[in-house]
Amino acid sequence: MTTEWVITAAAERVELKSDNTGETAFTVTNPGTVPDRVVFEVVPGDGAQASWFPPPPEPQLLVAGGASATFVQKIAVPAGTPAGSHWIQGRAYSADTAPEEGSRLSGRVAFDVKPSEKPKRPWWPYALAAGLLVVVLVVVGVLVFSGGEPEVQPTQPPATTSAFDPTVKPVLLSPADGAVFSIFPRTTNYQWQAVPGATQYRLQIQFCQAACNDANAANWKAPRIVTGTTHTDDFVGAQPGRWRVTAIGPAGDGATSEWRQFSYTR
């Protein structure tokens, strides 16, 4: 069944915050009389990247005839992205229909990426250097006036400590727990928050024959070692899967996040 979905954007423009995050909404209406399941997704345009737009918690909903559903779409542009103007469109299509056969697009929603703020330099290295200079001048002055020669002391490298906390679990962002996708190819973007001090992350993706649990889940390829906080991969099949992330610090593995499940229907 193909429904002639009507999709509209809440606004033609969205203003991002200073950290280049924000959100907008799209309303999808079923103009027919028969309930149908709609799939919502974002179509980036004008240089925008798909990884900036994490899927809504429920990108697929059952909509009754004559009723509407609203999808809230978050925008999260990574730090360091060049400033510029971009736009997106919302796309809606029936879950049992290929996107290229019966999808409908909303109007464009424009947004501007703001320039990244340069991090402020800490003041304490300058104060420390000034304090050391004063001490050196005082010592040299005392030695000069006392007729002695300064004794050269071996310098020790400053002690360094790692800020990595092995008890902090990575916070998973996308896909959301329980997300259902009906797209092919099954390109999946995994995103999580950075753990302070972590140098790498181990991403583990598993596929399942039924509801995911330790008894019926198996790794989809070997766990990936990722230096950033995002990874894109094509999932194995139209079936359930789950994923989790382990933070890795200078001294080894840290905490591991909880499992999050998702599934593909085609």
Cβ neighbours around 12 below 10 Å, total: 11
Q: Is the pLDDT of residue 154 over 70?
A: no
| CATH number for the domain formed by residue range(s) 6-113 | 2.60.40.10
In 147-199, where does DSSP find H-type helix?
A: none
pLDDT of res. 126: 78
For residue range 30-44, list pLDDT tens digits in order: 999 999 999 999 999
For residue range 74-128, list pLDDT tens digits in order: 999 999 999 999 999 999 999 988 888 889 999 999 999 999 766 667 777 777 8
HSE-up (13 A, CA, CB side) for residue 105:
11
Domain ranges of the chain: 6-113, 172-264
For residue range 201-219, list pLDDT tens digits in order: 999 999 998 789 888 888 9
C-alpha to C-alpha distance for 125 and 119, rounded to whole angstroms: 15
pLDDT of res. 134: 85
Q: Which long-range contacts (CB under 8 A, 24 or more apart) does 97-104 make?
A: 97/1, 97/2, 98/184, 99/39, 99/41, 99/183, 101/2, 102/2, 102/3, 104/4, 104/5, 104/6, 104/7
For residue range 169-186, list pLDDT tens digits in order: 999 999 999 999 999 989
| CATH number for the domain formed by residue range(s) 172-264 | 2.60.40.10
Provide the 8-state DSSP code for 73. E
Evaluate whether 6-113 and 172-264 have a shared fold: yes
